[in-house]
Amino acid sequence: MMKKKSVFWINMMLVLVLIVGLAFPAVNVSAAGKSKKKKVLVVYFSATGTTKSAAKKIQKATGGKLYQIKAAERYTAADLDYNNDNCRANKEQNDDKCRPKIKGKVKNIRKYDVIFIGFPIWWGKEPKIIRTFLESYNLKGKKIVTFCTSGGSGISGSTKGVKAAAKGAKVVKGRDLTDSSAKSVQKWAKKK
Ligand SMILES: Cc1cc2nc3c(=O)[nH]c(=O)nc-3n(C[C@H](O)[C@H](O)[C@H](O)COP(=O)(O)O)c2cc1C
């Protein structure tokens, strides 16, 4: 008798589990939606390769898509000779209105949630081509994390310019990754 009763209750429980499962499939869908992985884009500009190597480390850590900002007119060694007051890079940095042209575009930027943007520090700030990039897209609602490489100045001087150019985005001041190991980049980037 006892045995029959417990078999009945076990069956009832199974039926209940089945009903709940069928009645609330939407709960599972929305839970899955919430845990959806953020789509990451790693954008960088690099004149001599240092920032490029930092960008690759972030790409590896996040599994994001890598995009290189290419100047329509490539920077030559003479363009980058900052000891010469009249070199192209110095003139651009001294002209607030300067927006060097970019070759190419990011395809479908809308699908990315987090955009890392990296650059070398030029005269304490982001190169003007970074502003060209940021002003070319609708970045409303996106999270933008900066990174840079430098000869020691660090990233602080670039935050203001990036914020002004990335209208409607949430700009997070990132890190100077000069000489950062892949491991330390991974630890940092994965939290963003
Ligand atoms: C025009 C120019 C200006 C620079 N100004 C600075 C500066 O103000 N502070 C600094 O620490 N490094 C400065 N640097 C050094 C670069 O930030 C550094 O070498 C950087 O890692 C280069 O990155 P890239 O190889 O990705 O171009 C300057 C370099 C250039 C070409």
Report the alpha-carbon angle 154-156-157, nearest 5: 100
> What is the pTM (predicted TM-score) of this model?
0.85
Homologous superfamily (CATH) for 39-189: Flavodoxin domain (3.40.50.360)
Nearest ligand 1 atom, CA 87: 1
pLDDT in tens, the chain (192 residues): 556 777 777 777 767 655 655 565 444 444 444 567 899 999 999 999 999 999 999 999 999 999 999 999 999 999 999 999 999 999 999 999 999 999 999 999 999 999 999 999 999 999 999 999 999 999 999 999 999 999 999 999 999 999 999 999 999 999 999 999 999 999 999 888
The answer to whether the CB of 47 is under 6 A from ligand 1 is yes
Per DSSP bridges, beta strands 102-103 and 70-71 are antiparallel
Q: How far is CA 103 from CA 1, 54, 165, in A?
A: 82, 22, 19
Residues 29 and 5: beta-carbon distance below 8 Å: no
**Residues 35-91: pLDDT tens digits?**
678 999 999 999 999 999 999 999 999 999 999 999 999 999 999 999 999 999 999
Residues 60 and 182: beta-carbon distance below 8 Å: yes
Domain spans, the chain: 1-36, 39-189
- Placement of tokens 């070759």 in the chain: 103
CA of 65 to the centre of ligand 1 (A): 25
